[in-house]
Amino acid sequence: MTSSAHISSSQLPVVAIVVPCYKEQEALPMSLPRLLYVLDTMTARRIAAEGSFILCVDDGSPDSTWQAILKAHDEDSRVQGLALAHNAGHQYALLAGLMDVRERCDAAVSIDADLQDDPDAIIEMVNAFRAGSEIVYGVRRSRSTDTWFKRNSAHAFYRLQESMGLQSVYDHADYRLMSRRALEVLASFREQNLFLRGIIPLIGLNTATVYYDRNERVAGESKYPLKKMLAFSIDGITSFSAKPLRWIFLTGLGLLIADVAVALYVFCSLLRGDTMSGWSSIMLSVWFLGSLLLMAVGVVGEYIGKIFTEVKGRPRFIVREHT
């Protein structure tokens, strides 16, 4: 069973391009015509249906982003808008958009408003979708436009994630295509802390990868300064893994073993007589109590880890195929 499951071969897929926008009043007038051009190309080449559209999600921008969206909608009805009441953050704005289009399209492509990700890759993504992929990752060919720091910190983060058992796709941001079916599965993930890049690989349907070049922003400035990047990374780890809690327990256990060596050292010193009175008992209790406390915190952590996975209420299984 391949893509023909969701679109019959005679029909062209309706593609929705979902664009989260926060303070993008300068970028939108440049990026929307570019995205409309991609839609034109796909309909002309009979890759996507006439009814394909763009959904701009205004993530509570204080500037005139929403006015820019309305203006674009007046000029071309294929541009649609969805305004969030507050600044919910990139991941939530994206989710809001994807959930909004999921019943009106065959596939949704998410792309940033600044068009740092080459929009022509959308065409390749849709082709991969038509060839049977449910999720198509956009992966950067090179990170040459990034600073040395951003490039290396990103790669270190991927490695850290992997060490905690998270699947991650290197050099893939949130530029991807998801089929309607993949969107349905995504809808069944009920967690509040959203880290889409970590969830998508858990969907486990057929995937493909499309490579593209990443450019500079067309206008405006990045809304991801170091502080937000760091917060995003910490969220990414703590919303997927309870391993840091287990590490506390294991550290306590390790220290408890080390206590034997400390005890030997203390007794030797005591026998040699080169100790002050009270030193031995303080040494032993500091080490022993320290490791016990750490282990106790770790045990509590183990239970919190269980609660953590329970409250997420994630689907316990995802059906891939049915005869």
Site residues (vs ligand UDP, CB under 6 A) = 20-22, 24, 59, 87, 89-90, 93, 112-114, 116, 222-224
What's the CA gap between 118 and 131, in Å, rounded?
21
Residue indicated by tokens 């993530």: 59
Binder of residue 109, out of ligand UDP, Mg ion, none (CB less than 5 to 8 A by kind): none
Written as six digits, the tokens of 184 are 């349905």
Q: How far apart are CA 264 and CA 162, in angstroms?
A: 39
State the nearest-atom distance from the C-beta of 207 to Mg ion, in Å: 23
CB 91, CB 194: distance < 8 Å: yes
**What CA–CA distances, in Å, run from 77 to 22, 40, 52?**
21, 13, 11
**Closest approach of Cβ 278 to ligand UDP, in Å?**
57
Q: Residue 110, interface with Mg ion (CB under 5 A)?
A: no
Residue nearest ligand UDP, Cβ-based: 222
- Letters for 173-212 (x = contact with Mg ion by CB under 5 A, - = none) are ----------------------------------------
Residue 116 or 179: the one with the smaller Cβ distance to Mg ion is 116
Asked if 116 interacts with Mg ion (CB under 5 A), we say yes
Q: Is the distance from CB of 36 to CB of 76 less than 8 angstroms?
A: yes
Q: Which residues, including other chains, have CB under 8 Å from residue 41's CB and lie 6 or more apart?
A: 47, 123
Q: Name residue, tokens 């490791």.
A: 291
Q: Which stretch binds Mg ion (CB under 5 A): 35-43, 101-109, 116-124, 141-149?
A: 116-124
Token duo for residue 221: 């400035």
The nearer residue to Mg ion, 165 or 225, going by C-beta atoms, is 225
Residue 169 or 295: the one with the smaller Cβ distance to Mg ion is 169
Within 8 A by CB and 6+ apart from 137, the residues are: 169, 172, 175, 176, 207, 208, 209, 210
How near is the Cβ of 186 to ligand UDP at its closest, in Å?
18
Region of 38-46, 108-116, 165-173, 188-196 interacting with Mg ion (CB under 5 A): 108-116
The listed partner (ligand UDP, Mg ion, none) that binds 48, CB under 5 to 8 Å by sort, is: none
84 contact, one of Mg ion, ligand UDP, none, CB 5-8 Å limit per kind: none
CA distance linking residue 115 with residue 215, whole number of Å = 8
Residue number, 80 or 116, with CB nearest to Mg ion: 116
- How many CB atoms lie under 10 A from the CB of residue 15? 28
Spatial distance between the Cα atoms of 92 and 84, rounded to a whole number of angstroms: 10
Nearest distance in Å: CB 268, ligand UDP: 57
CA dist 100 to 19, 76, 179, 185, 305, Å?
12, 19, 14, 14, 32
DSSP state of 31: H
Measure the CA–CA gap between 125 and 111, rounded to whole angstroms: 12
58, 106, 114, 171: which one binds Mg ion (CB under 5 A): 114
Q: Which helix H or strand E contains 251, and what residues bound it? A: helix 243-272
**Binding at 90: pick from Mg ion, ligand UDP, none (beta carbon under 5-8 Å per type):** ligand UDP
Which of 3, 31 has the CB closer to Mg ion? 31
CB of 287 to Mg ion, least distance (A): 50
Q: Between residues 7 and 35, which has the closer beta carbon with respect to ligand UDP?
A: 35
Q: Applying CB under 5 A, which part among 45-53, 112-120, 165-173, 314-322 lies near Mg ion?
A: 112-120
Between 227 and 316, name the residue whose CB sits nearer to Mg ion: 227
Contacting positions for Mg ion (CB under 5 A): 112, 114, 116
